[in-house]
């Protein structure tokens, strides 16, 4: 990924590369790939019975793009998509790019207030929605926000609560009052609309915004990270380069498409290399993933650490033939070293990579390489991506020496245009020199390898000592009874904060708090040994599988507060 460089004297790296950035829009690049590999599998969705070649995928993309233009949508308009993983999501991603529309990813877990906020914040003119997913009835929620739909002609919505929304398209073709069916839109394009799709290929620019992804922390309303063709197409390309993807690869993608893990690391990494996108289900289910890898002879597998843990721990894991696997990506949250070793060993993923990044940077900034020694590939997030700069700074903004923790800042083609209609929060995130402030604590060693220590907000400060939860987690993963562990800080009157660990034990195992502390004594500093330990069955997570430590912290704070009151 990067050329050999002398050992660093400060924590600053830039990804030098002989491979130039792509100057295409997403639509133009899809066309190039479809011409090169017309008959190769592009999209495989077994649960829908779908298997599209690249030629067929582009045909369907062009038809849907023409249909969107026939509805009166214009380049630059925002169109939301609210759905689980399916073929329609993929078609939408590339059709909106060809039509110059800005696709707005809406979290499948959103409820009424969040949906209303997202649609209104960016002024969506259209919404593509699945009928339902898991416990969410999307059609009912849309009708709750816009009851006018029942009496509106499709495409003519006038809603008091959603004033910019005019068109709702439902996935599936069952007639629904006030809505178009997805297939109906694909059939609407006229010759003039199809001709316009072709003309737009030369009119759209790669710096045009093409995607808005909502991100949020523990406070404040979600922010709409605005990304361009250039941002995400190039990031997908260099992600695929790190995996050594070719037209012969078949990538199993169980992560959600609404998130950059699915649509960039998944779809765009595949499309830039002519690889097959394989979706094992509408949501994550470990058995379906292993069945799909075996049936489709997948060569790459994606997931967050909790997904890989769930797959490895299936009682019937050993019955699946995973021998075709070679590579993949583990990302989305810190990757435990012991889990990575099990994936490499038991899932045949000798070239499995770890990637690090954030939505606002398209998303990947660091990634391991197949050329890295195995120890580097299981203990670091690799080296900086081509054409990207990274520095680690202290609280005063000064670049720190190699190996010293500080905030990770990144700059380059991958940094978003900004948060949609939010100049203040954009200025807080991207400084005058163009550096994106990630909020992540990291180190870069003298050879340029990065390591994520944690979030600035997750760092525990106990009696003046800075404690990095990741360090304690990595140690506890060595305990033979521990399946998964999360460490965080809770308020303490004497020390400011104390260390708390939530632990998931392996099936059939039992342990005591004192047993865990004994495992730590003499191995890690006394102030890092968790004062509070809880054995739990699960952790609160987002739809993408990211651990929500702030909810754990809230839960423990409430629990400890109740105890304090009861003994007062």
Q: H helices of 204-336, where?
A: 229-243, 260, 269-271, 286-296, 305-312
- Cα–Cα distances (Å) from 235 to 45, 115, 232, 278, 530, in that order, read 24, 28, 5, 20, 39
Q: Are strands 78-82 and 102-105 parallel, antiparallel or unpaired?
A: parallel
* Helix, strand or coil, per DSSP, at residue 39: coil
Dist. CA 278–CA 267, nearest whole Å: 9
Domain boundaries 459-567, CATH class: alpha beta
- What are the domain boundaries of the chain? 12-21+223-456, 26-205, 459-567
Q: Which CATH number is correct for 12-21+223-456, 3.40.50.12780, 3.40.390.30, 3.20.20.70, 3.30.710.10?
A: 3.40.50.12780
Fold agreement between 12-21+223-456 and 459-567: no
The per-residue b/e assignment along 59-89, b for 16 or more CB within 10 angstroms, e otherwise, is ebbbbbbbbbbbbebeeebbbbbbbbbbbbb
User: SS3 for 126?
Assistant: strand
Q: Indicate yes or no: pTM above 0.85.
A: yes
Two structure tokens written together for 526: 């006394």
8 A C-beta contact, residue 168 and residue 180:
yes
> Residue 85 corresponds to which tokens in the numbers above?
């993983």
d(CA 308, CA 293): 13
Cα separation, 335 vs 379, whole angstroms? 9
Q: What is the chain's pLDDT, residue by residue, as a tens digit (568 residues)?
A: 444 568 999 999 999 999 999 999 999 999 999 999 999 999 999 999 999 999 999 999 999 999 999 999 999 999 999 999 999 999 999 999 999 999 999 989 888 988 999 999 999 999 999 999 998 999 999 999 999 999 999 999 999 999 999 999 999 989 999 999 999 999 999 999 999 999 999 999 999 999 999 986 544 678 999 999 999 999 999 999 999 999 999 999 999 999 999 999 999 999 999 999 999 999 999 999 999 999 999 999 999 888 999 999 999 999 999 999 999 999 977 788 888 999 999 999 999 999 999 999 999 999 999 889 888 988 899 999 999 999 999 999 999 999 999 999 999 999 999 999 999 999 999 999 999 999 999 999 999 999 988 888 888 988 878 788 988 998 999 999 999 999 999 998 878 889 999 999 999 999 999 999 999 998 988 889 999 999 999 999 887 777 889 899 999 999 998 443 332 2
Decide yes or no: CATH 3.40.50.980 for domain 26-205: yes
């Amino acid at each position: 990924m990067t050329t050999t460089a002398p050992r660093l004297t400060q924590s600053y790296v830039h990804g030098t590369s002989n491979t130039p950035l792509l100057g295409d829009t997403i639509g133009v690049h899809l066309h190039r790939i479809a011409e090169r590999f017309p008959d190769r599998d592009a999209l495989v969705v077994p649960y829908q019975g779908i298997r599209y070649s690249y030629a067929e995928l582009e045909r369907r993309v062009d038809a849907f793009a023409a249909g969107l233009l026939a509805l009166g949508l214009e380049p630059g308009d925002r169109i939301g998509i609210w759905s689980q993983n399916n073929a329609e999501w993929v078609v939408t991603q590339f059709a909106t790019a060809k039509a110059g529309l800005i696709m707005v990813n809406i979290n499948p877990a959103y409820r009424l207030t969040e949906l209303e906020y997202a649609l209104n914040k960016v002024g969506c003119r259209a919404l593509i929605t699945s009928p339902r997913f898991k416990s969410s009835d999307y059609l009912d929620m849309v009708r709750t926000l816009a009851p006018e739909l029942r009496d509106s002609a499709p495409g003519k919505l006038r809603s008091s609560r959603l004033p910019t929304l005019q068109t709702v398209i439902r996935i599936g073709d069952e007639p629904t009052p006030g809505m178009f069916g997805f297939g109906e839109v694909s059939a609407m394009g006229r010759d003039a609309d199809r001709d316009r799709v072709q003309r737009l290929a030369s009119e759209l620019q790669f710096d045009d915004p093409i995607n808005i992804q909502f991100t949020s922390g523990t406070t404040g309303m979600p922010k709409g990270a605005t990304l361009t063709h250039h941002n995400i197409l190039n990031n997908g390309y260099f992600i695929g380069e790190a995996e050594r993807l070719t037209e012969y690869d078949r990538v199993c993608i169980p992560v959600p498409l609404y998130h950059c893990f699915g649509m960039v690391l998944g779809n765009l990494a595949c499309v830039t290399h002519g690889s097959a996108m394989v979706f094992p289900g509408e949501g994550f289910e470990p058995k379906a993933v292993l069945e799909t890898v075996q049936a489709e002879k997948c060569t790459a597998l994606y997931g967050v650490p909790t997904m890989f843990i769930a797959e490895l721990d299936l009682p019937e894991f050993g019955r699946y033939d995973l021998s075709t696997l070679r590579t993949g990506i583990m990302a989305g949250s810190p990757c435990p070293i012991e889990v990575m070793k099990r994936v490499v060993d038991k899932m045949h993923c000798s070239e499995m990579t770890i990637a690090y990044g954030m939505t606002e940077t398209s998303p990947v900034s660091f990634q391991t390489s197949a050329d890295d020694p195995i120890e580097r590939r299981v203990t670091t997030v690799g080296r900086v991506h081509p054409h990207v700069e990274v520095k680690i700074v202290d609280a005063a903004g000064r670049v720190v020496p190699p190996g010293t923790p500080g905030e990770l800042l990144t700059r380059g083609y991958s940094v978003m245009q900004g948060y949609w209609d939010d100049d203040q929060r954009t200025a807080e995130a991207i400084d005058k020199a163009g550096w994106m402030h990630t909020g992540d604590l990291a180190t870069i060693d003298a050879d340029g390898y990065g390591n994520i220590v944690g979030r600035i907000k997750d760092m525990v400060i106990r009696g003046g000592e800075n404690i990095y939860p990741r360090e304690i987690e990595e140690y506890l993963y060595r305990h033979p009874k521990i399946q998964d562990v999360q460490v965080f800080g809770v308020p303490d009157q004497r020390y400011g904060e104390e260390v708390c660990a939530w632990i998931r034990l392996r099936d059939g195992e039992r342990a005591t708090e004192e047993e865990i502390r004994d495992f730590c004594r003499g191995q890690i500093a006394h102030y890092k040994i968790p004062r509070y330990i809880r054995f739990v069955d699960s952790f609160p997570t987002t739809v993408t599988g990211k651990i929500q430590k702030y909810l754990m912290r809230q839960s423990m704070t409430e629990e400890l507060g109740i105890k304090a009151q009861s003994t007062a």
